[in-house]
């Protein structure tokens, strides 16, 4: 991979969440950030960000800079966690480049969005997590509070 972008994480990879250990000791920085133009849904225990057709949604998370010497290994581990295979139409998640807004302004980051079929299903049948924040899902009345 040639584009060594930060990753925008918004769910189980966040500090205190169940998959955070995958990134422990492998990052350079964590910065609060927002993914504009997306909605956040609670799948069965996992969050899914989906492009908002209206372009008005926001997903809260963190932009994570990966340590240079660990970048390729971390990308492989994240792709495996998200069951992402480049070009596979059956992907539940797609790794895509998106602009995120953080304390230092706007920057591009890798983001795992729901795959196209799953994204359409979520938009058609589920309500997004109010406020777009996985950590506050149980406090806002949205999601399962897993």
pLDDT one-digit tens code per residue, 1-54: 458 999 999 999 999 999 999 999 999 999 999 999 999 999 777 899 999 999
Contact 97, 110 (CB under 8 A): yes
Whole-prediction pTM: 0.90
Sequence-distant (≥ 6) Cβ neighbours of residue 73 within 8 angstroms: 26
What are 58-116's pLDDT values in tens digits?
A: 999 999 999 999 999 999 999 999 999 999 988 999 999 999 999 889 999 999 999 99
User: Which tokens go with 115?
Assistant: 């795959």
| 144 in a structural domain | no
Number of domains in the chain: 1
7 vs 92, 112, 141, CA distance in Å?
A: 18, 9, 27
| 146 in a structural domain | no
| 31 in a structural domain | yes
Contact 19, 90 (CB under 8 A): no
In terms of residue numbers, what domain contains 60?
7-127
| 141 in a structural domain | no
Cα separation of 54 and 103, whole Å? 25
């Amino acid at each position: 991979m040639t584009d060594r972008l930060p990753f925008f994480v918004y769910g189980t990879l966040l500090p205190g969440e169940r998959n955070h250990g995958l990134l422990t000791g492998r990052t350079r920085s964590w910065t609060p950030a927002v993914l504009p133009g997306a909605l956040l849904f609670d799948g069965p225990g996992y969050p899914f960000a989906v492009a908002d057709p209206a372009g008005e949604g926001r997903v809260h998370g963190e932009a994570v800079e990966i340590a240079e010497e660990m970048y390729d290994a971390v990308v492989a581990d994240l792709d495996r966690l998200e069951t992402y295979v480049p070009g596979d139409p059956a992907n539940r998640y797609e790794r895509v480049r998106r602009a995120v807004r953080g304390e230092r302004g706007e920057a591009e980051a890798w983001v795992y969005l729901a795959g196209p079929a799953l994204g359409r299903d979520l938009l058609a049948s589920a309500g997004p997590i109010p406020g777009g924040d996985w950590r506050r899902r149980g406090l806002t009345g949205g999601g399962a509070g897993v």
